[in-house]
Amino acid sequence: MSLIGYRRDDAEVDPPYLYPDYVATRTRAPKRPLVPLPHTLSEITGPVYGHEDVGELDHDLTRQHDGEPAGERMILHGRVVDGDKRPVRNTLIELWQANSAGRYRHEVDAHPAPLDPNFSGAGRCLTDDEGHYRFITVKPGAYPWRNHPNAWRAAHIHLSLFGTAFATRLVTQMYFPGDPLFFQDPIFLAVREERHRRRLISEFDLDNTVPEWALAYRFDIVLRGREATPMEA
């Protein structure tokens, strides 16, 4: 059987496991070198989702309750492509975030900011045939955490993607342009090169705003591309 594996070019863009400024990595990063896993059938396959797995309003976080959530309404959209610019179709994107006050609807979030009865902060959608996705939500607030004195997370939205295979799984965070908190956020700064950090920052997208209704941000996502040549498996 001849299989085509995935490129391992994420190694140069991803943050390291151990990044001491992000304190939790100190006891959770493995110390032994990782073993390079050949891409076998187990890694070039992965979970497949269909439209039956996603509800019609799952992408709209502003319509999950009786009323509308407080905050700045926004459209988050973009395209998911692989490293060869091919659209990644019908892939599941899961999203979660804080509300506009910077509070998660989660039992371990102790930030004394108000919960919003009209905002759960989770959504999901499938990409279309061109790899496009679109969510409607509110802009999340920044929030404090206890990583270091007076630490604040830059405002962000968590995104989880499967892609086409076990080997393409990605969980990332999307940030907002011009955030003044970047310089002290070790999760953002753990991506070592500035040109790769820029890839985590969405773009304000005037063309896709809806006049008198919502601002828009564009966030394109690149999953790993495939190797050019098959391996014998």
Partner 1 sequence: MSLSPTPSQTVGPFFHIGLPAPATTELVSPDHAGAVRIVGVVFDGNGEPVSDALLEIWQANSAGRYSHPEDPRDEIPREHGFKGFGRCATDAEGRFEFVTVKPGPVPGPDSRMQAPHIDVSVFARGLLKRLVTRVYFPDEAKANDADPVLSMIRDPEVRATLVAREEDGALRFDIHLQGERETAFFSV
> Catalytic positions, please?
104, 143, 153, 156, 158
CB of residue 190 to partner 1, shortest distance in Å: 5
Question: What is the closest distance, in whole angstroms, from the C-beta atom of residue 213 to partner 1 in the complex?
Answer: 25
How is residue 182 annotated by DSSP? Answer: G
Closest to partner 1 by CB, 115 vs 209, is 115
Residues in the chain: 233
The closest of 232, 206, 200 to 219, measured between CA atoms, is 200
Q: Are 222 and 13 in contact (CB under 8 A)?
A: no
CB of 186 vs partner 1, minimal distance in Å: 10
Residue 101 to residue 155: CA distance in whole angstroms: 10
Retrieve residue 160's tokens.
């989880």
Between residues 158 and 204, which has the closer beta carbon with respect to partner 1? Answer: 158
> What token pair was written down for 66?
């009786």
SS3 96: strand
Nearer Cβ to partner 1 (138/187): 187
